Amino acid sequence: MPSPVLRVAVVGIGEVALNTHLPNLALCSHWFKVVALVDVSEGALAHAGAKFGIERLYTSLAALLDEADDVDLVMVMSANEYHVQHTTAALRAGKHVFVEKPMALSLAGADEIARVQRETGKVVFVGYMRRYAAAYLRVKALVEATGRENINYVRVRDLIGKNEYFVGQSGAFPLKFTDAPAAAVAERAALSDTMVRQAIGDKRAANALDRESWALLTSLSSHDISAMRELIGMPERVVGASRSPDSQFIWVMFQYPGFVAYYEVGIDNVKLFDAHIEVYTTSQRIKVTYDTPYVKGLPITATVLSTKDNGDFSEETLRPTYEDAFTLEYRELYAAIVDGAPVKTGPADSRDDLVIFKMVMDALV
């Protein structure tokens, strides 16, 4: 019997949907079929609908859910402030949910998603695509084989140019739209203020620099901290943290049992994607290197440095596959919904990012 093709509604037709998810979903037509789009921008809906051949277009998730008996999966790619609202609404309507990172902007929001998931029994899959990359999983296996007790040092780095530099060269030709209704813009701003206050408190939320730091952590850092957690676990504490005057760069030293992990994250005006995690053990240096996800097919690689038994220095580069991390992530998403496979990037896992972000904020001065 042929496997079922899951019918998908995509909520939020912005950069990530137009440049990565909608093209990749079209290529994975044996697993998924996008049947509806939701966005407050009528221009974005018209553009994406025409480009990807999708006729059912909605300006609100509520309107979709009122007539979505045929939808199996809702993929939430809306503005971060709406992730909790859209995820819980879809769950209550009996839909499985894929939600882009960050799943929530506050612990209260993360806990609400977890509670509604338990009530409904539906799948919630958070889109940490870097953690599904084959090279990352190869590095994870090597680190586990070596043992955490043999780790001396870890370096986590994500210093990149602005997304627009890579999107403009992606070949996906996405457009940007500014026709969101004024009421929707105001609502998002109000939600953002409420969620930041929930997350870091009124005093820090009143500080523009702290708000910028929280925004960087919950956006770009959600990639890195999540991957770090899976690789080496939760840190014990933050030894120290600092940031640039505009908070576009943050540096953190995490204490682990027997070693520290140094984390650096930032966004600049250089057209370079410099992202990796490197684990320094007693006998090896094991590294996974990421390129921009906005250009399909760029390989994610693992590198292993060691000394051979005969004394030779060895540098081995592993490229397990050219399959992009989004496709590998989709395979796991499909298996979770259709076969009941476990989800490693669920609500409880995602909540730990917010715990670490708060640790960093508390250490920043």
pLDDT tens profile 38-90: 999 999 999 999 999 999 999 999 999 999 899 999 999 999 999 999 999 99
Residues 164 and 259 occupy one common structural domain: yes
pLDDT for 203 equals 94
Residues 135 and 125 occupy one common structural domain: no
**Does pLDDT of 245 surpass 80?**
yes
In a domain? residue 183: no
- Using 50, 70 and 90 to split pLDDT, how confident is the model at 365? confident
Residues 140 and 111 occupy one common structural domain: no
Mean pLDDT of 216-234: 97
pLDDT for 1 equals 43
In a domain? residue 299: yes
pLDDT for 2 equals 53
Mean pLDDT of 20-33: 97
Mean pLDDT of 140-151: 95
pLDDT for 125 equals 98
Residues 102 and 249 occupy one common structural domain: no
pLDDT digits (tens, 9 = 90+) for 195-217: 999 999 999 999 999 999 999 99
> To the nearest whole number, what is the mean pLDDT of the chain?
96
3-state DSSP assignment of residue 287: strand
Q: Using a cut of 0.85, tell me whether the model's pTM lies above it.
A: yes
Check which CATH number belongs to the domain holding 42 and give it.
3.40.50.720
Amino acid identity at 23: P
**Does pLDDT of 334 surpass 60?**
yes
CA dihedral sign of residues 161, 163, 165, 167: positive
In a domain? residue 187: no
Residues 262 and 306 occupy one common structural domain: yes
**Does pLDDT of 252 surpass 60?**
yes
Which residue is it, tokens 């005006």?
269
**Does pLDDT of 227 surpass 80?**
yes
Mean pLDDT of 174-200: 95
**Does pLDDT of 297 surpass 90?**
no
- The answer to whether residues 67 and 41 touch, using CB atoms and an 8 Å cutoff, is no
pLDDT digits (tens, 9 = 90+) for 5-25: 999 999 999 999 999 999 999
| CA 253, chain centre distance (Å) | 22
In a domain? residue 337: no
Residues 69 and 164 occupy one common structural domain: no
Indicate the residue among 108, 129, 150 that finishes a domain. Answer: 129
Enclosing domain of residue 33: 6-129
Residues 138 and 280 occupy one common structural domain: yes
Residues 73 and 11 occupy one common structural domain: yes
Residues 262 and 277 occupy one common structural domain: yes
Starting from the edge strand earliest in sequence, which strands make up the sheet with 6-11, in order?
56-58, 32-38, 6-11, 73-76, 96-99, 124-126
What's the total number of domains in the chain? 2
Residues 145 and 247 occupy one common structural domain: yes
Mean pLDDT of 28-46: 97
Check which CATH number belongs to the domain holding 249 and give it.
3.30.360.10
Residues 43 and 72 occupy one common structural domain: yes
